[in-house]
Amino acid sequence: QLILATFALDGPLKFSGLDVVRYDAKSLALGLVEGFVLQESCLETHVTPWQTEQKFVYCRFSRS
């Protein structure tokens, strides 16, 4: 099993002053090496201590 979490497509454009790359489950799966199959994904909205929202996508893959 492989679990990855990253900024979602509607996540922030920058984090700690750096540009970020945003993904959805499909684009994250396409970026993996062959041999992994997407099993499930979910979205989460994290509220920071400064009351801003950061959107994340979590994906679980298994070896094919």
pLDDT by residue (tens digit) across 6-19? 999 999 999 899 99
Query: Which residues are within 8 A (CB) of 33 and not within 5 positions of it... i.e. 6 or more apart?
Result: none
CA torsion angle 15 21 25 30 (round to 10):
-150
Residue corresponding to tokens 């945003």: 22
Q: What is the pLDDT of residue 23?
A: 96
4 band by pLDDT with thresholds 50, 70 and 90 = very high
Alpha-carbon separation of residue 34 from 18, 28, 48, 64 (angstroms): 29, 12, 35, 9
Per-residue pLDDT of 26-62, as tens digits, reads 999 998 878 899 999 999 999 999 999 999 999 999 9
